Structure 1
Amino acid sequence: MGDSRLIQGRYRLLEQIGRGGMGEVWSATDESLGRRVAVKCLKPLGPQQDKHFIRVLRERFRREARVAASLQHRGVTVVHDFGEDDGVLFLVMELLDGRNLSQLLEENRQHPLPVDDVVDIAEQVADALAYTHRQGIVHRDLKPANIMRLVDGAVKICDFGIARLGADIGFTSRLTGTGVAMGTPHYMSPEQISGGHVDHRSDLYSLGCVLYEIATGAPPFDLDDAWAVLVGHRDTPPAPLRTHRSELPAAFERIVLDLLAKTPEGRPDDAADLRRRIVSARTGPVALTRPVRPGPPPTRPARLPSWTRGMTTGHKAAGAAALRTTPHDPSAGLTGEWTSPAPIGPIVPGVPTDPAIPFGPAPDLSRPAHQRPAGNTGNTGTTGPAGSGGHGRPTPSPEQVAVLLSRHDAGLSLGRLGRWAEAGEVHRAVAAERAELLGPDHPDTLASRYELGFTLGRTGRATDALREFGAVAEGRARALGPDHPDTLAARQEMAYVLGQLGRHAEAHQVYAAVLASRERTTGPDHPDTLRCRHNLAFNLSRLGRLEESHRMAHEVAEARARLLGREHPDTLVTRYEVAYTLGQLGRWSAALAAYREVAAARAGVLGADHPDTLAARYEIGISLGRLGRSAEALELYRDLVTTRTRVHGPDDPETLRARHGLGVNLGRLARWEEALAEAREVCALRERVLGPDHPDTLVSRREVAVSLGWLGRWSEALAVYREVAGARERVLGADHPDALASRNDEAHCLEQLGHHAEAVELYRRVATLRLRTGTRA
């Protein structure tokens, strides 16, 4: 219920699609007109803010929103409505289908955009600025993240009006407490930096920075320190674009360098003049150039304004791609997320731990534990000089080595049976004895520690697993070298565990480094290289870089099909990932077709009852639900429950997951009494099998409350929502996104019961926590 907030009784928020320093942007439904829109909500203002300041801000917002709503140009985002709801200022805008320039650069791996696209974007933005400047509107915060390229090629500038807020009253500095002036350091004009007079020519300078970046891949002053960036804008001539990219037309380079003149007088007169020059340079036989008209050189650098004091690190504008794990399903109504994104119990390789997220592959997800590469079985070789066990130790007897190898293999056998805790204790003991007998960096010792790390990950102790894999990677690098396959395998497991911990940016860095090493040492088509690329594609999707993820997964699937065959288990794992990214990109029909192909192939290769086959069938049900085909999804889940019960038993976590999906689709078909009964049964079984505070148990308990709400039994629903919220706070912390979502559910329930004051107070408490921690709604 907290997943679907209603603004002013008209705009139903569905999914957060952007987030920045000023607030959040949501996709929403205008329930009065039945159309999809975007709603931008400014950050709530806490009671610590000065009342006069809040009053001035609200008046300023209304004035600027009216101005933004009056702009009617194909290159400017259309504003439909604005207002205030429960203390939150909001704008309702057209919902754009495309990517901002930051996202396009990111998807292009920070390589510059094609020259024709750069020139076309420049012309369209200049045309839009010419219009807005004629209306007396200066943007003041033009940057790649505020310029959208739609799927049809049109370009639109976003955030007119909002970007201007506070130019006269210090809005940003008072909201953030940092004292940073309006603007983003990589795109600020010298006059903005110096606190001087800002007019339409400041926007032209910012546009010059944007064009420089999309044409070369980096902004004109691409420095790590914000102070250096600001001084660069103020004092340093930018390097000519063609020194970075020789194929750029000389005329276009001249235009961009003119835009980057240090004084407003040195730039084009206005955006209309700029557009004429771009058109002439694009179509004429000889590029038109404009003589540079720099102002008089300063005798000494002007002092930077006081708001720069204390600044240390600057960052380029980043895309608004959400770093989500389980995206909210707008079509799910009050059901929200189906399972938790962070399962704790034992995990079956190849089986999704979340219906919206396939289980993250270990370096070789498609193979059983005993076939995993890189040091997963005992190594009976020795290191060090002949006659020693390494580091001056006496050579161990063959009997001692054989006994430890036998115990190591016994640990592997326990793992294959899913008895991970017992396997871990065996590997821990063997690792300690091997360290004493052979030395801490001996390959056998490190192999046991590697397996210990693997069992720790399988029993939900990801932090401990990361420590073990890190130690193994360091030891193997010392003993075998940094590029040895065993060293890379340990580093790859480190990246996998970082992903389990939600540290996807760090995981990306490790995967990228391992991939570069693998490509250099074994070649691009080696199975280990492709396995690493598969994992990197998986991690990219968790970073929200879905287009890149889909492209890379598709390439890996094709390479594996070429080398191993289209129906090899490794190929099918990657084809599964391709289907996942299709779904996250909203291409659910294509995802459904891809999952069906994978399910059919796995049934032929692995058998109809294999866990991987059943996992693919489960994802078919997810896709059908996302396409609104709940009746078909319901029948699929009934059959899946029957199969899972027969193969794994009625209490198996995966059987219960299928039953949960069945219950959700009963609700989607408005069969709420049946949905409630199913949710209660599944919740009771999960509590007994997994524990009362397991994430899946809490998801089922929440589904009970959802059904109660739909049946109008709000008092009972409130009690259940409070149980879920309390458990999530106890386990995850009060500021965890799941805990905050539960408190929002509780507040919505209070509203339905007429307890409006309590509901408002709870909403405000949640908003304060989100603001303080930067947690996404």
Structure 2
Amino acid sequence: MAETRLIQSRYRLLDLIGRGGMGEVWRARDESLGRQVAVKCLKPMSPQHDEDFNRIVRERFRREARVAAALQHRGVTVVHDFGEYEGVLYLVMELLDGRNLSQLLADNEQHPLPVDDIVDIAEQVADALGYTHQQGIVHRDLKPANIMRLSDGTVKICDFGIARPGHGIPVTSRLTGVGVAMGTPHYMSPEQIIGGQVDHRSDLYSLGCVLYEIATGAPPFDLEDSWGILVGHRDTQPEPPRSHRAELPGFFDRVVLDLLAKTPDERPADAHDLRRRIAVGRTGEHPSLEPTGQVPLAPPVPVPLPGRPPAAPPPPAWARRITGGLKATGTANPAPAGPSEALTRAWTTGSGTGPRPDPAQPAAHGTLAGRYELETKPSRKARAQDALSEFGRIAEARERTLGPDHTQTVAARQQMAYALGRLGRHDEAHELHAAVLVSSERAMGPEHPDTLRCRHNLAFSLSRLGRLEDSYRMARDVAAARARVLGAGHPDTLVTLYEVGYALGRLGRWTEALHTYRQVADARTRLLGADHPDTLATRYEVGISLGRLGRSADALELYRALVADRTRAGGPDDPETLRARHGLGVNLGRLGRWDEALAEAQAVCAARERVLGADHPDTLVSRREVAVALGWLSRWTEALHTYRQVADARTRLLGPGHPDTLAGRDDEAHCLEQLGRAHEAAGLYREVAALRQQRGQPPP
């Protein structure tokens, strides 16, 4: 598309203003009318996607064109034209000069927007939704990235790619299949999550989530994974926005909580009712609005599973069609800057590596949230058990209907293996990963990207089983294959190369690990930019490797720079900033600069307690680091008190026999020895040894 520069002898492409995995947005000139426009182009799908997926993506693009073109309202992006040129679908829209709400939050350093702006945005979006709902259109993916605020203050709703028409535009339920996400977890209504009836009131719920975020700086359920977010929407009452920001007006607090009601009947009747409430709260006057009459309901969106009887209740949506989603304040790979960079939802894909462990926890060093690809990441064992059961039913139904080697069957079994790993059942996870790999190789070949993904995950499970040499060899081979098939700089190749570095570190081959992590860091800097979260995370691992090699001065210099970069990117209290500061403090201690190390550890511990909570694992790690520094400064009484705090918290949270708890008791006993209380120390050592023996744990 970029090579021709001219589409249908009319639209001349000028500047690329947005790019992602599914397409591109260009600033263009309409040669016929002499005006500037935005042209959204759907890229041809990769051969690795199956025919159903390609058909669905193209049909969604066409649907967006048809739906948006039928809407004529100042609060909806205007569509001028739609067509296909040389096999590429394109959509011509008005060129907007402004920023979406996600970008406005980012511009404001993730702080909430001014109260007057929030109320104005709420009123304008309510007016636009009132119009679209009257036309029988339900957006179904309302989120900050899909709401634009123009330079003149006008607010517009964008991206009707998964909008559901109530009449007039035929679609099929198959458009919800093949694993394509229907909505974004931070902003989905409870009825979307359970696969129930979705109507205009689902959009009102999503708007409530958006208003909550721009008013407080975070969505109502800002949890660590998609599973937890969805359960929050379904089961948890949100905290009032004013509990986070006292200056919000009382009427706004009530409006948002009404929008976030769990059942549609408890929400405002329609968007015009919502606009009246906002106007009355803001001015005390009832606005003059045309009566809406009966708002047409969009038909329910069934998502049947192959082989499952129609009467069976739909399984949870997160187990079938949620592929993840980013809140407004966490968008990865932002589009290049430009006047209409937020015309549509972000077309970006990430290869995030998730939060990194602390250098003072070598045993937990490999618990990397992003090392499983396509992971559901449930944060509790109960959730993992639910996921295992649900994906087991899905896999059984797909195997019965589609066969054991069908890609959808393989995908469900892959999710079962993830859940087994989360439950700590690593032997079973490894066995299932191996079986999935056999099916994938048989169905798609040994070097198909999906097969390589299976091999990557098998390497991960091997590391969890302690088979580090096997894990290293497999990860090394997968990295080479991905470099050959996808390219040396492809994100998937770098993810596996990162895994190679991890295995090398666990094997004590820190010089090689350092070289590997530096390769990944350099490639990610070129590919993603120096401030991308994945680049920063890899630099953290470089610091760990330097420290392990005794190069603490180099590590200290790296962590100082990383703290500055993390502070600029996420703020001083961001958990990743605090993680980098923790690494800095550890290396101060390694250099014998214990007064500075103690001050840094105390500051990080206080910040983590404030941000994460007193019992968060990271907070406890920092508290232990405080105790370590106190010991080195011969302040043993204070060290004993702090070590006991850590051990007591871990006993309460993890149990008395957990390895981390027992390590904490060993620390406590060591302090008693230093204080001359040898009898008490010996008794505690015996108690810890007995617990280890009961649980079959080796001595430290």
Q: 1:588 to 1:471 in 2, by over 3 A?
A: same
Q: What corresponds to 1:164 in structure 2? A: none
Q: 1:644 to 1:655 in 2, by over 3 A?
A: same
Offset at 1:547? 1.2
| Aligned equivalent of 1:381, options 174, 191, 194 | 174
CA distance in 2, matches of 1:507, 1:494: 8
CA distance in 2, matches of 1:544, 1:408: 46
1:757-768 equivalence runs, <5 A? 757-768=679-690
Q: What corresponds to 1:690 in structure 2? A: 612
1:709-724 equivalence runs, <5 A? 709-724=631-646
Q: 1:750 to 1:451 in 2, by over 3 A?
A: farther
Give the counterpart letter for 2:532 in structure 1: H
CA distance in 2, matches of 1:762, 1:716: 18
Q: What corresponds to 1:773 in structure 2? A: 695
Q: 1:554 to 1:720 in 2, by over 3 A?
A: same
| Aligned equivalent of 1:742, options 659, 664, 677 | 664
Q: 1:667 to 1:537 in 2, by over 3 A?
A: same
| Aligned equivalent of 1:478, options 388, 397, 405 | 397
Q: Secondary structure at the match of 1:492?
A: helix
Q: What corresponds to 2:55 in structure 1? A: none
Number of matched residues? 387
Asked if structure 2 preserves the Cα contact closer than 8 Å seen for 1:434 and 1:445, the reply is no
1:260-339 equivalence runs, <5 A? none
Q: What corresponds to 1:548 in structure 2? A: 470
Asked if structure 2 preserves the Cα contact closer than 8 Å seen for 1:411 and 1:423, the reply is no
CA distance in 1, matches of 2:529, 2:642: 41
Offset at 1:739? 0.4
CA distance in 1, matches of 2:514, 2:316: 43
Asked if structure 1 preserves the Cα contact closer than 8 Å seen for 2:196 and 2:301, the reply is no
CA distance in 2, matches of 1:569, 1:427: 34
What is the CA deviation profile of residues 275-334 of structure 1, one whole-angstrom value per residue up to 9, with x for unaligned ones?
xxxxxxxxxxxxxxxxxxxxxxxxxxxxxxxxxxxxxxxxxxxxxxxxxxxxxxxxxxxx
Asked if structure 2 preserves the Cα contact closer than 8 Å seen for 1:427 and 1:452, the reply is no
Q: What corresponds to 1:635 in structure 2? A: 557
Q: Secondary structure at the match of 2:173?
A: coil
Asked if structure 1 preserves the Cα contact closer than 8 Å seen for 2:528 and 2:535, the reply is yes
Q: What corresponds to 1:705 in structure 2? A: 627
What is the CA deviation profile of residues 409-430 of structure 1, one whole-angstrom value per residue up to 9, with x for unaligned ones?
9999989997844444457889
What is the CA deviation profile of residues 601-641 of structure 1, one whole-angstrom value per residue up to 9, with x for unaligned ones?
00000111111101110010011001100000000000000
Asked if structure 2 preserves the Cα contact closer than 8 Å seen for 1:579 and 1:590, the reply is yes
Offset at 1:487? 2.9
Q: What corresponds to 1:518 in structure 2? A: 440
| Aligned equivalent of 2:590, options 652, 668, 673 | 668
| Aligned equivalent of 2:319, options 449, 452, 455 | 449
Offset at 1:664? 0.3
CA distance in 1, matches of 2:440, 2:514: 33
Gaps of 5+ in 2: 1-161, 165-171, 177-194, 211-218, 236-261, 264-297, 326-374
> Does 2:598 match 1:679?
no
Q: Secondary structure at the match of 1:381?
A: helix
Asked if structure 1 preserves the Cα contact closer than 8 Å seen for 2:223 and 2:229, the reply is no
Offset at 1:574? 0.5
CA distance in 1, matches of 2:638, 2:316: 54
Q: Secondary structure at the match of 1:487?
A: helix
Offset at 1:709? 0.3
Q: 1:634 to 1:439 in 2, by over 3 A?
A: same
CA distance in 2, matches of 1:731, 1:436: 42
1:525-544 equivalence runs, <5 A? 525-544=447-466
CA distance in 2, matches of 1:445, 1:568: 35
Q: 1:537 to 1:437 in 2, by over 3 A?
A: closer
Q: 1:417 to 1:743 in 2, by over 3 A?
A: closer
Asked if structure 1 preserves the Cα contact closer than 8 Å seen for 2:197 and 2:300, the reply is no
CA distance in 1, matches of 2:486, 2:522: 18
Offset at 1:571? 0.5
> Does 2:384 match 1:465?
yes
What is the CA deviation profile of residues 464-507 of structure 1, one whole-angstrom value per residue up to 9, with x for unaligned ones?
13322431332243144443323322322232233233322121
Asked if structure 1 preserves the Cα contact closer than 8 Å seen for 2:420 and 2:426, the reply is yes
Q: What corresponds to 1:108 in structure 2? A: none
| Aligned equivalent of 2:414, options 492, 496, 504 | 492
Q: 1:407 to 1:484 in 2, by over 3 A?
A: farther
Asked if structure 1 preserves the Cα contact closer than 8 Å seen for 2:572 and 2:578, the reply is yes
Give the counterpart letter for 1:449 in structure 2: A
1:55-70 equivalence runs, <5 A? none
Q: Secondary structure at the match of 1:566?
A: coil
CA distance in 2, matches of 1:399, 1:507: 32
Q: 1:499 to 1:404 in 2, by over 3 A?
A: farther
Offset at 1:681? 0.7
Asked if structure 1 preserves the Cα contact closer than 8 Å seen for 2:391 and 2:415, the reply is no
Q: What corresponds to 1:21 in structure 2? A: none
Q: What corresponds to 1:582 in structure 2? A: 504
> Does 2:524 match 1:602?
yes
Offset at 1:437? 5.8
> Does 2:593 match 1:648?
no
Offset at 1:714? 0.3
Offset at 1:660? 0.5
Asked if structure 2 preserves the Cα contact closer than 8 Å seen for 1:537 and 1:550, the reply is yes
What is the CA deviation profile of residues 441-462 of structure 1, one whole-angstrom value per residue up to 9, with x for unaligned ones?
4798565434679799546224
Give the counterpart letter for 2:397 in structure 1: R
Give the counterpart letter for 2:581 in structure 1: R
Q: 1:766 to 1:524 in 2, by over 3 A?
A: same
1:606-617 equivalence runs, <5 A? 606-617=528-539
Offset at 1:463? 3.0
Offset at 1:522? 1.4
Q: What corresponds to 1:250 in structure 2? A: none
1:46-125 equivalence runs, <5 A? none
Q: Secondary structure at the match of 2:673?
A: helix
- TM-score normalised to the size of structure 2? 0.50
CA distance in 2, matches of 1:412, 1:521: 42
Gaps of 5+ in 1: 1-375, 384-397
Q: 1:663 to 1:466 in 2, by over 3 A?
A: same
Q: What corresponds to 1:657 in structure 2? A: 579
Note the aligned Cα RMSD (angstroms). 3.8
Give the counterpart letter for 1:465 in structure 2: A
Q: 1:530 to 1:419 in 2, by over 3 A?
A: closer
Q: What corresponds to 1:572 in structure 2? A: 494
CA distance in 2, matches of 1:516, 1:444: 30
Q: 1:644 to 1:487 in 2, by over 3 A?
A: same
What is the CA deviation profile of residues 519-572 of structure 1, one whole-angstrom value per residue up to 9, with x for unaligned ones?
111111111111111011011112111111111111111111111110000000
Q: Secondary structure at the match of 1:513?
A: helix
Q: 1:377 to 1:660 in 2, by over 3 A?
A: farther
Q: Which has the larger radius of gyration?
A: 1
CA distance in 2, matches of 1:548, 1:499: 18
Q: 1:713 to 1:474 in 2, by over 3 A?
A: same
Q: What corresponds to 2:35 in structure 1? A: none
Give the counterpart letter for 2:405 in structure 1: D
